[in-house]
Structure 1
Amino acid sequence: MPSRHRQFRVRRVLVVLFLSSLTICLWLNHLSFTGQVTWGTAATAQSPNPSQLVQKGIEHYRTGDMQAAIAVWQTALSDYQSTNNLTNQIIVREKLAIAYQQIGRFEATIDQWKHAIANARQQGAFVQVGRLQTELAQTYSRLGQNQDAIALLCGASEINEDCIQSEGSALQIARKLSDRQGEAAALGSLGEVYRLRGNYDKAIAVLETSLKITQEINLLAYRSSVLNGLGNAYSGKAQLNEQRAGSAELRGAKIKESEFIEKAGFNYIKALNYFNNSLEITRAQNDRPGQMQGLLNLIQLYYRSTNLKLPNTLNQAEQALQEALSLLERLPDSANKVFAAINLAELEQPVVKKSTSLQTQCPSRKLEDAQAEKLLRTAVTIARNIQDSRSESFALGKLGHLYECRKDYNKALEFTQQARFAADQNLRAKDSLYLWEWQAGRIFKAVAKESEAMAAYERAVTTLEDIRSSLLLAQRDVQFSFRDTISPLYREFARLKLERAESLSIASQAYQTELDSALDAIDSLKLAELQNYFGNDCVFAVFDQERVDDLEKEDTAVFSSIIMEDRTAIVVSLPNPEHKLNPKTRRRIKKFQWISDTAELKEGIKKFRLDIQKFYDPTDPFLALAQNLYNWIIHPFASDLDAAQIETLVFIQDGLLRSVPMAALHDGQDFLVEKYAIATTPGLRLTSPKPLNVQGLRTLALGLTEAATIDGEKFQPLANVTDEVDQVTQLFPGSKKLLNEQFTPQSLEQELKQAVYPIIHIATHGQFGTIPEDSFLVTGRNQKITITQLESGIRRFSTGSEPVELLALTACQTGIGDDRATLGMAGITVQAGVRSALASLWYVEDASTQELVARFYNNLRSSMSKAKALQEAQKTLIHQNKIHPTQWAPFILIGNWL
């Protein structure tokens, strides 16, 4: 399920993300390009020459010659500025902004919109101010700057994205001045922003209001655009429900899985109807660009929904494809035409298959190879004719990829180098530059040019680092595919570094440098994954190396895993033995080993997770698997750990390894936790290095003992939670507890507002799913608090000087084999600004939880490190109580272990 339709979503990231993703498409000013421009008589009398220039520019624009249009409009603008003709300055600036956006010059676009807004304010033309702000907001949204867009449209608060209609916002101006067209435009753009942020219900509500207005004022052209937006919103909602079905499948929730699949089918049908209605309008108006956008949307939807068995989808998709190919020849040259040609050339057969990245694999194209090549060459020609280096870069790069797939590496490299050059001409084309550097690296590697390959990969990673955050946030509804798209780049780069290290002496500095580079690449990927999972504009606190050194004590070893398609690397960072002789020698020593078969490792992890929970099986089937995992991950470094007198192991896990309860690994005699304190962290640079101060600790303890039903799913009562909460609050003076009906999302927020609690302990059912929407805690009154709401509340109300030291979630569970679920669990520490979290990988009988928690907090009060406190609590359950690992192994410490 998680890979369902992934190939099509990845394609959307690589192409559609860089198209004009906004369906509103600048309709407020687009009309001036489709009909004769009428100029004010005063303006014509004063400056007939500039008005003729403007008309000439419009003719250039219609034929796709953006550069010529810009040149004459700039001349006209200078003339109007010399006569202080504000009215016509605004008109020309609008056209310049649209033309600049067509060729990817977004800084110039923003500059023109801002100047036009200033001119309109000077004139007191406030209706125009509101409309221009809507246009500027669309540009910001297209660049992934969604908060700026919302602020312009309706003045959203800093806390959330709800529209507050602040004074001077586009929506407030339109409603105050009864500008219905401006109101429809602002609402349409706002709906698009919400959609791009993944808030589909809010997007649909806003777009439906916009649609109603367009019907009331009979704005037919605009209505087709809003219908298109609604189709995209329902399509995004359908994909989200498919993802939720996958998450439910991994949890074993069959009823919920069926429910989400049914919802996805309903959403796809809604999307289909909206797209068809929009296409009908654009056909009636002979709006060819609008028709092309509608057809592309329909083709994508038909192929995306094939698994849902919607009626006659493949036949309809074929008809839409042929119509799009015919229509393409009749479109005027433009950047959108270039991308439409690329989209059609790259279209794949609707076959469901597992994939990591379509950028690196050769697709099974829907069109014949020769036809796809012809389309891409046509795209290159058009892009060059309109002098749009950004679209030219994509067309050349895709042509290079086509030859890469043919293994014609000379031509592949030729076109790829041209794509790199074109992308480099425009700073905003970095979103393609990293792709072509990466592609060049693959080609160089294929022809055994190692140094050139490494240099290209390094340039790709460096370029991506500059733009990663904006790309991650640009379009929320394709986040899954974006993670899958960029992940192979980081992993391939790390692999090259590791393979180079293999050829070097372990004692050499070069060996250490290559391992550092590999780990840095994977750390960057982990940060991207966290941003990707939570899908918001939060900037994580990243600590510098000097602060990280404070974490890596002399008794600590750090294990990092890097999962490749065929094998997995385990890298261990150990104290430098010279440090004891010379304290200035702080640099740690790194070593690595390969696990030879990633597929075998993944199957072993899944089976281990299943078998360890079979506490009723006297044969302990998990033990053999626990020993296998120990031999793969720990054993190669066992002598190093002994020699360095290591007491604490910190794991920075990758992918499915995040779901492994490392405490339960077994060396044939003992569990790993019997010898080492254990912690896990998303990354050292994301881990707060400050040790725990046990003075003044107090707890906000919340719990639920009653049965609950959330979204139709039943959760059993937790009889021992009352005792657990009582014990926690009694250990720390000044603590407070909220049980059952007292524990609600609202009461939690109220407590966080009123006081600072260094420890927040929550004893209730919780689940972490593939997406944040399916990660929540059950509260009283049959309510829930999503993990996003929880981290937002903690981050908002905890102060920088007194952050939450520990967040304990003691009755959680993750789906077996769901690496994204554990990513969400690990990420809550850095997302919420919590120094450490204690959580469970699966639900544990609450009597055992109560005892482990009580011992953990008692140990913590005696000034043990957090990792040591958990270790001692787990060892007590092992030795004194003889409790099965299913009852103590799932508890993991995340984040700061000091």
Structure 2
Amino acid sequence: MARKWAVFFREVESLLKRGFRFFLLGMLGVIFALGIPVLEIAQSREVSQTISPQATPQQLMERGRELYRRGGYSDYSEAAEILRQAGDIYAAEGNRLNQSLALSYLSLSYQKLGQWEEAQRVSDASLQLAGMGGTRGDRIARAVALNSQGHLFLSLGEAETAFERWQKAADEYQQLNDKEGKIGALVNQAQALEQMGYYRRSCNTLLQAIGAENPSCDEIKTEEDIKLLQNRLAAENNGGLKTIALRSLGNVLRAIGYLEQSQQILNSTWEVVSQTNSNTDKSLTLFSLANTQKALSKQQEEYGDNPTAQNYRDKAVQNYNQAITLAPSSPIKLLAQLNLFSLLRQSETNTKELQTLLAQIQSQMSEMRLSKPLVEARIKLACSLMQCEKLVQGETAELELVSIEEIDGLLQQALTEAETLKDARLKSYAIGTQGKRYEYFVPPQAQKQGETTTWEKAKTLTQEALELAVKSNAPELRYQWQWQMGRLLAGEENLEDAINNYTVAVETLDSLRNDLLAVNTDVQFSFRDNVEPMYRQFVDLLLQSADGNRDRLQSAIQFIDALQLAELENFLQCNLSVSNSGQLLDSAARIERSLNEITRDAALIYPILLPNRIELLFKLPARPLERHIVPISRIEVQENVTQLRGKLANPSSLAERLESSDNLYRWLIQPLEPSLETSTEIKTLVFILDGELKNIPLAALYDRATEKYVVEKDYAIALLPNLQTFDLEQKSAQRRVLATGVTEALTVENKNFQALEVRTELESISNLVSTQILLNSEFTQPRLKQELNIGPFSIVHMATHGQFSSNPQNTYILVYGSADSTGELIRSNEFDRLLRDRSPSTTIELLVLSACKTADGDNRATLGLAGLAVRAGTRSTLATLWRVQDDSTTQLMKQFYLEFIQNGLTKAEALHRAQKALLENLNYQNPTSWASYILVGNWR
């Protein structure tokens, strides 16, 4: 900590020589780079001149501030005593304003010592002394006191109160016409907003601080947006401010999940700082850039793009190493080493390389004075050594680098130091991690044989950590320890108490995350790492205890559906749980309504994939929720799905394809057939598919007993991404189609798209229903937008190349470009704006994408399809999982529109008949021709 603050003040002194205010740069230089509360302890020269303090208390003040800058525990203690003396002398002299300033600094010292009651007392006194006067001295003292209080309340976990104090500080600086002071207060407000979970508001506040014309992070989408922002900063003619503002913005963009934009901003920051002599600026920027690249690597890994993930990982490693080399202080160097170690530990890295880095980290920590960052570093290192991220996902981890005794020593040292600092949150962090060590590094057979000493110790430590997390108002720790206690109790088969702990853990997590946008590992909300495992374990417990308890089945549906919704929100980067008026919607009520609405004339089937079984939850008309258990491992399900997808497009692999197809049929549909046969009113099976099941066409599942595909049976098939995002009411509409397509080969972004024979497809539609056709050069983005605004189209049919992916940037639709033989890709976000900007008088009842495919190797690719449908605001989408031959597409689409438009069938029934008709044609009997089509959303 001492070196961290030494760096902080060296930065300030350097920048002062360039003519900038101490106050501003202290604020902007640290907050987003290191995550350290920003200090505003500078005494304005104007105050000195106005108040004219006597030499002795002024010398005490300077000495106290100097000790504070050194940043060790003993330094804080000595600084507090000296600043108290200075305050007493000012009080004796009746020097009210300088006494107020002394007490503000004294409060900051008490905060570092963890003496919260004393910090509160002197902070209140400081603000009272500053009074309500309107002189310049009054306002400056009041602003400093408010800033000190803001840090106090933020440290106590009262971010809302901290935000309110910093708002008042900004008002004071506004009255003083102090631009830099106001900017500092705004940046502090951004820190409070981030701690409250309002990442976008935090980002917007930062943009306001640096003077952006449109302070909205939602508008930072493209390289052009970022260039405009950079030009704005360049116009300030302020190199130091530009550097700090860019780096801060890059860090907060990473925190809200705008990783590409974060990387662009931080690359721009590096272009600036690389031309300077400041190794501090260089190392901080490289550290921030590496953090973003680490997050990008993780993101691309989740998308299934391993080569790109490796590329980002290599860049992150390079930048961490360079940051370590350039770092002028232990804290910056240690932070970079720890993050590099964590990154290398997650991959197959040479053990010797890890051991070398581990030795460097241990040496670095031994040189640092006692401080909060040092304690956090010890705990983070212990977690990296134990591979905590793997453990909470149910994976195994090995301690090949150190012994368990060494980890125990590291965590015990962290706990001892946290107690010295009297920091309840740090104690909770250390003790809870100790509990995790006892939870995972005990042989399971020892637990079953009655050797419960270590298991009980894990529970005791977890409970103690939880109590401290509550006491220190640290919900980001509280949910982890509630989850941990739930796992421990589940391990003892104490299901009821385990469920209670999982319940409060989910509630705590939901109170923390307004959305699931944060990919930043420091915030600890990576979707797959920290959210999905907890929800799945919780649902598993609910279902284990659901025999004879229909409420548990309902709860399981609610929480697995919340997971499905959260995954879609993560893709869309928006909160679907909030209404247009900003009110939080009741998910339980929405799910109940959807269950009843679906089963008016359909069956809902909700398969849930668990490690050792498939839980088939289903609801039929006028019947309660039911379940069927299929005892099959998730690994075997995954293998069958992979085989089926690989064989569907290969006519020579009929036997293998039918085997995989039959297996999935027996697991997903056959167990429910006796119940389905008793409900004659059922016309459609509505599935909400889980995990890798989302990438298979259910119509192609095969029943060996009857030698029929599912499509040949009596039920139509429809898909929903979850129970909460689509309007399921049946609405009549005057049918008018906007039909678009590309018949020419086009090139865009180094991608070559072959010509499509879709003219006949579009013409066949126009023969059945009123249709406006845009073909080739007419099918441009501006023309599409124009037609959508002019015409009341209820159906939009796109016969063009497209792709669905779990990566929004790889989810796109091809349109004609401005030049010959070139195209333009409308990506997910742009598609959203294009269709939502149309005239609101007509709802798009159906969006048809007849020549698209899912991204290769992406097991969650259909997430992009669901996301596209939700973004477009359509009631349903008909699309293809893989590219189908043009002639079979023409035949299917002609039959679909005939059944839907002229015969008045539902969309699901129309698709069902169209697929059956194709199958009955000798030319198209292979599933390659007809199975690719899926209907997502409202099937009626």
Q: TM-score, normalised by structure 1?
A: 0.84
- CA deviations over 1:852-877 (Å, ceiling 9, x no partner): 11211222213211111111111211
Distance in 1, matches of 2:274 and 2:100, equals 37
Matched, 1:50 2:90: no
Matched, 1:681 2:723: no
What pairs up with 1:300-311 in 2 under 5 angstroms?
Answer: 300-303=342-345
Given that 1:860 and 1:869 are in contact with CA atoms closer than 8 Å, whether structure 2 keeps it comes out as yes
Which of the residues 392, 397, 419 maps onto 1:363?
397
Given that 1:545 and 1:685 are in contact with CA atoms closer than 8 Å, whether structure 2 keeps it comes out as yes
Distance in 2, matches of 1:132 and 1:606, equals 54
Given that 1:29 and 1:94 are in contact with CA atoms closer than 8 Å, whether structure 2 keeps it comes out as no
What pairs up with 1:387-402 in 2 under 5 angstroms?
Answer: 387-402=422-437
Give the residue type in structure 1 aligned to 2:129. D
Per the TM alignment, residue 170 of structure 1 is displaced from its structure 2 partner at its CA by: 11
RMSD: 3.6
Find the residue that maps to 2:488 and give its secondary structure.
helix
Distance 1:317 1:893, change over 3 A: same
Distance in 2, matches of 1:26 and 1:651, equals 45
- CA deviations over 1:200-221 (Å, ceiling 9, x no partner): 4432333344445557786664
Distance in 2, matches of 1:130 and 1:755, equals 48
Given that 1:472 and 1:535 are in contact with CA atoms closer than 8 Å, whether structure 2 keeps it comes out as yes
Which of the residues 461, 483, 494 maps onto 2:528?
483
Given that 1:127 and 1:173 are in contact with CA atoms closer than 8 Å, whether structure 2 keeps it comes out as no
Find the residue that maps to 1:685 and give its secondary structure.
coil
Matched, 1:757 2:793: yes
Distance in 2, matches of 1:666 and 1:204, equals 48
Per the TM alignment, residue 387 of structure 1 is displaced from its structure 2 partner at its CA by: 4.5
Given that 2:695 and 2:860 are in contact with CA atoms closer than 8 Å, whether structure 1 keeps it comes out as no
Per the TM alignment, residue 435 of structure 1 is displaced from its structure 2 partner at its CA by: 1.8
Distance 1:875 1:540, change over 3 A: farther
Distance in 2, matches of 1:157 and 1:189, equals 15
Distance in 1, matches of 2:577 and 2:826, equals 20
What pairs up with 1:439-588 in 2 under 5 angstroms?
Answer: 439-473=484-518, 475=520, 481-502=526-547, 504=548, 510=549, 512-536=550-574, 544-545=590-591, 547-548=593-594, 551-576=597-622, 588=624
Distance in 1, matches of 2:223 and 2:650, equals 53
Per the TM alignment, residue 649 of structure 1 is displaced from its structure 2 partner at its CA by: 0.4
Which residue does 2:929 correspond to in 1? 887
Which residue does 1:434 correspond to in 2? 479
Given that 2:499 and 2:541 are in contact with CA atoms closer than 8 Å, whether structure 1 keeps it comes out as yes
Matched, 1:779 2:818: no
Which of the residues 246, 253, 258 maps onto 1:194?
253
Give the residue type in structure 1 aligned to 2:913. E
Find the residue that maps to 1:723 and give its secondary structure.
helix
Distance 1:649 1:305, change over 3 A: closer
Where does structure 2 lack aligned partners over 5 or more consecutive residues? Answer: 1-28, 54-94, 443-453, 580-586
Distance in 1, matches of 2:491 and 2:605, equals 31
Which of the residues 743, 748, 760 maps onto 1:723?
760
- CA deviations over 1:451-489 (Å, ceiling 9, x no partner): 222222222223333334445436399999422432222
Find the residue that maps to 1:761 and give its secondary structure.
strand
Distance in 1, matches of 2:640 and 2:523, equals 31
Which of the residues 304, 324, 331 maps onto 2:361?
324
Distance 1:705 1:144, change over 3 A: farther
Percent of residue pairs bearing the same amino acid type: 28
Distance in 2, matches of 1:206 and 1:600, equals 44
Which of the residues 850, 875, 882 maps onto 2:916?
875
Q: TM-score, normalised by structure 2?
A: 0.80
Matched, 1:743 2:779: yes
Which residue does 2:447 correspond to in 1? none
Per the TM alignment, residue 128 of structure 1 is displaced from its structure 2 partner at its CA by: 2.0
Given that 2:486 and 2:501 are in contact with CA atoms closer than 8 Å, whether structure 1 keeps it comes out as yes
Given that 1:768 and 1:814 are in contact with CA atoms closer than 8 Å, whether structure 2 keeps it comes out as yes
Which residue does 1:581 correspond to in 2? none
Distance in 1, matches of 2:287 and 2:458, equals 37
Given that 2:812 and 2:825 are in contact with CA atoms closer than 8 Å, whether structure 1 keeps it comes out as yes
Which residue does 1:40 correspond to in 2? 48
Which residue does 2:860 correspond to in 1? 820
Distance in 2, matches of 1:376 and 1:795, equals 54
Give the residue type in structure 2 aligned to 1:75. A
Query: How many residues were matched structurally?
Result: 829
Matched, 1:229 2:229: no
Per the TM alignment, residue 70 of structure 1 is displaced from its structure 2 partner at its CA by: 4.9
Distance in 2, matches of 1:197 and 1:469, equals 11
Which of the residues 832, 854, 864 maps onto 2:905?
864
Distance in 2, matches of 1:141 and 1:527, equals 23
Per the TM alignment, residue 500 of structure 1 is displaced from its structure 2 partner at its CA by: 1.9
Which of the residues 254, 257, 266 maps onto 1:207?
266
Q: Which is higher, the Rg of structure 1 or of structure 2?
A: 2
Distance in 2, matches of 1:347 and 1:26, equals 20
Per the TM alignment, residue 549 of structure 1 is displaced from its structure 2 partner at its CA by: 5.1
Find the residue that maps to 1:459 and give its secondary structure.
helix
Distance in 2, matches of 1:595 and 1:375, equals 43
More deviation in 809-818 or 63-72?
63-72
Distance 1:544 1:27, change over 3 A: closer
Given that 1:557 and 1:572 are in contact with CA atoms closer than 8 Å, whether structure 2 keeps it comes out as yes
Which residue does 1:299 correspond to in 2? 341
Distance in 2, matches of 1:680 and 1:422, equals 45
More deviation in 528-537 or 540-549?
540-549
Matched, 1:637 2:681: no
More deviation in 861-870 or 529-538?
529-538
Which residue does 1:598 correspond to in 2? 634
Distance in 2, matches of 1:21 and 1:482, equals 27
- CA deviations over 1:761-797 (Å, ceiling 9, x no partner): 2112222234222222233344443542354225631
Give the residue type in structure 1 aligned to 2:686. V
What pairs up with 1:121-160 in 2 under 5 angstroms?
Answer: 121-141=174-194, 143-152=196-205, 153=207, 154=212, 155-157=214-216, 160=219
Given that 1:23 and 1:229 are in contact with CA atoms closer than 8 Å, whether structure 2 keeps it comes out as no
Which residue does 1:583 correspond to in 2? none
- CA deviations over 1:84-104 (Å, ceiling 9, x no partner): 511122223334434544454
Distance 1:223 1:610, change over 3 A: closer
- CA deviations over 1:479-524 (Å, ceiling 9, x no partner): 994224322222222222222224x3xxxxx2x2221121111111
Given that 1:187 and 1:210 are in contact with CA atoms closer than 8 Å, whether structure 2 keeps it comes out as yes
Distance in 2, matches of 1:857 and 1:751, equals 21
Distance 1:52 1:398, change over 3 A: same
Per the TM alignment, residue 692 of structure 1 is displaced from its structure 2 partner at its CA by: 3.8
- CA deviations over 1:404-428 (Å, ceiling 9, x no partner): 123411111111111221222355x
Find the residue that maps to 2:604 and give its secondary structure.
strand
Distance 1:198 1:499, change over 3 A: closer
Which residue does 2:60 correspond to in 1? none
Distance in 2, matches of 1:433 and 1:480, equals 14
Give the residue type in structure 1 aligned to 2:392. L
- CA deviations over 1:202-258 (Å, ceiling 9, x no partner): 3233334444555778666444323322232333344455556x34x7xxxxxxx5x
Per the TM alignment, residue 680 of structure 1 is displaced from its structure 2 partner at its CA by: 0.6
Per the TM alignment, residue 56 of structure 1 is displaced from its structure 2 partner at its CA by: 2.9
Distance in 2, matches of 1:68 and 1:227, equals 39
Distance in 2, matches of 1:692 and 1:221, equals 63
User: More relative contact order in 1 or in 2 (CA 8 Å, sep 6+)?
Assistant: 1
- CA deviations over 1:827-851 (Å, ceiling 9, x no partner): 3333432210111111111111111
Which residue does 1:73 correspond to in 2? 123
Given that 2:850 and 2:879 are in contact with CA atoms closer than 8 Å, whether structure 1 keeps it comes out as yes
Given that 1:703 and 1:743 are in contact with CA atoms closer than 8 Å, whether structure 2 keeps it comes out as yes
- CA deviations over 1:40-81 (Å, ceiling 9, x no partner): 332445433223323433444565656654543332222113
Distance in 2, matches of 1:277 and 1:158, equals 30
Distance in 2, matches of 1:634 and 1:320, equals 53
